[in-house]
Amino acid sequence: MVKKIFKKIATVTCLTLFLIVPVVASQLYIGSRTVDITPQLPVAVTGQFHLRIAEIAETPLIATVMVLETRGANGDLAIMVSCDALYIPTDLVALVRQAVKNQLPDIDENKIFLNATHTHTAPVLALEGEYLIPKTGVTQVKDYRKFFVEKVSGAIVSAYKDSAPGSVAWGMAYAVAGYNRRIVYADGTSGMSSKTNLPEFRSFEGSEDHNVNTLFFWNDKGKLISVVVGVASPSQEVEGRYAVNADYWHPVREGIKEKYGKDVNVLGWAAAAGDITPHMRYRKDADDRMRNLRNLSRTEELARRIILAVDESYNSVATERHSELVFEHHVEELPLPERWVTEKNYLEAKAFVQNAKEQIAEDPKAADALYRMMNWQERTVKRYEKQLENPKPLYPMDLHVIRLGDIAICTNEFELFSDFGIRMIARSKALQTFVIQLTGSSDWGSYLPTDRAVRGGAYSAVIHSNIVGPVGGQVLVERTVEVIDQLWNKEVTQ
């Protein structure tokens, strides 16, 4: 009890200090690293309901680290890691933080966050429950997690130790790399990635955000060392393959390196894109013709568009670098109301799980197709049972909000539907607001749908797809905007 009271007092004190202490423009220190996180083959790749074993790595998988720091009494730190992964389980984030803390005991490890580019052709990272992976002959999840933690924490430590004075510029352009994948029909129902060439097709359910936000970092010799690219589209163009593939981020990185130098570190940030796909949802033939005339694969075409946007921003902002600027990194655990599991949801899920168990018992091979789906629905069953004890369950989300000069960076742990991201961007006091989704996920990630999506139904907006629903989504928006406001309402001293 006493501990709880102290904790509350500490939280209130921290928040009060956070609100009243003026911010100081300080010299920015930067460090960056790229590390290969391609698994040993064969390996199970995640992102579909059925088990897929990859025998080849079509591209390497990469984690890219960016360390931002200001020093002195008012100094702050952010360590951001972009990973070619479907999701980053929160327990894995904790392991990375701990591994870094072991080597850098003076840093606040909570200032580390990892985001997934959401490629569907990267290894399983959740310790259990996703697939029944063969016990031999295939890289085991625990082994890949160990490898991942070692590689990523090592890269963080190296980047941190190398941090040196540098500068940054930010820019924005656009590229059509994401398409809304939720299709609305005449009867009010929605489908995910369903057909549009039907008489009953009416509209796409939500918005698309075609902005490509960029950050460019130079060292004190004026050499470009890192580029951050924010795209509101998951890297899922080759999502169904039985292969390891970083999807469109691979040609994006290669193209940027070819143009700006082979040592440039490229961080890919997926903005709010829970309802977005890089697949064409209509006029595919027209797009395919253009791509074929250019002799490009679909991932190369997406990369071409994104790189054009990066180039355009770079050419406009490269002369406007900031080395002394306001830098603050706010971290908090944000409790979000969970989506309510109804009795009907519970009974349907329970029946499905029972049926799946019987099928698997009868034919163990059926697990390849059913196991993940069964566990997906079993989570709903367990949530309902927990609700009986705690009727107002809260999901504890790690919220990071960073002010870097005129821009804000804010994170969330979901596949966040685009409209929520647009709400944050529109209401933000920052010049530009970089929204990063999938920075840590419970289990294998979770969609966060809009009200309209829940009404429309279908995968990504059904109860099993969502730990947090539209109500929690609005809480996330409100709190994110509130923190951004606080960061911008402070007095800035030079």
Partner 1 sequence: MEKQTHIDYRVSKIKNNLFLAISFFIIFVAFQLLPNTVFGQDLYIGAATVDITPKLPAAVDGQMTVRIAKVAETPLTANVIVLESRGENTTVIVSCDLVTVPTELKEMIQKEVKKSLPELDEKKIIINATHTHTGGVVRDNRYNIPEGVTQVKDYLQFISNQVSKTIVTAYNQREKGSVSWGISHAKVAYIRRAVYEDGTAKMYGGTHQANFIKMEGFEDQAIQSLFFWNQKGEFVATCINVPSPAQIVESRSAVNADYWHPVREGLKEKYGQQLVVAGWIGAAGDQTPRPRYDEFAEWRMIALRNEKKSPDFGTHSGAVDFRNEYHLSEIAGRIIRAVDETYETVKIDKHDAPVMKHVVNNIELPMRVVTETEYDNAVKMRAEDMNDPERAQVYSRRIVWYSKVVDRYEIQKTTPQPMFPVELHALRIGDVVICTNPFELFTEYGIQMKARSNAMQTFVVQLVGPGNYLPTHEAVRGGHYSAIVESNEVGPEGGQILVNWSVAMINKLWPQ
In the bound complex, what is the minimum distance in angstroms from residue 284's beta carbon to partner 1? Answer: 10
Q: Which two tokens stand for residue 103?
A: 């080597």
Query: Which spans of this chain sit near partner 1 (rule: CB under 8 A)?
Result: 171-176, 180, 196-199, 201-204, 206-208, 210-211, 281-283, 285-287, 289-290, 293-294, 305, 313, 316-317, 319-320, 406, 419, 422-423, 425-427, 431-433, 450, 478, 481
Q: Nearest-CA neighbor of 253 among 262, 244, 245?
A: 262
Cα–Cα dist 353/350, whole Å: 5
Shortest distance, position 335 Cβ to partner 1, whole Å: 20
Spatial neighbors of 398 by CB under 8 A, at least 6 apart, are 90, 93, 110, 113, 331, 332, 333, 334, 411, 413, 439, 440
Smallest separation (angstroms) from partner 1 to the CB of 238: 22
Angle between helices 90-103 and 141-162 (to 10 degrees): 40
Q: Minimum distance between the CB of residue 457 and partner 1, rounded to whole angstroms?
A: 18
User: What's the first-to-final CA gap in the chain, in angstroms?
Assistant: 43
Closest CB to partner 1 among residues 270, 425? 425
CB 287 within 8 A of CB 179: no
Compare residues 294 and 386 and give the one whose CB is closer to partner 1: 294
Q: Please tell me what DSSP assigns to residue 404.
A: E
| Cα 88 from Cα 413, distance rounded (Å) | 9
Residue closer to partner 1, measured from CB, 314 or 352: 314
Nearest by Cα to 327 from 104, 102, 163, 161: 163
- CB-based contacts of 311: which residues, under 8 Å, 6+ apart? 259
Compute the least distance from the CB of residue 405 to partner 1, in Å: 9
Q: Which is nearer to partner 1, 161 or 294 (CB)?
A: 294
CB of 196 to partner 1, least distance (A): 4
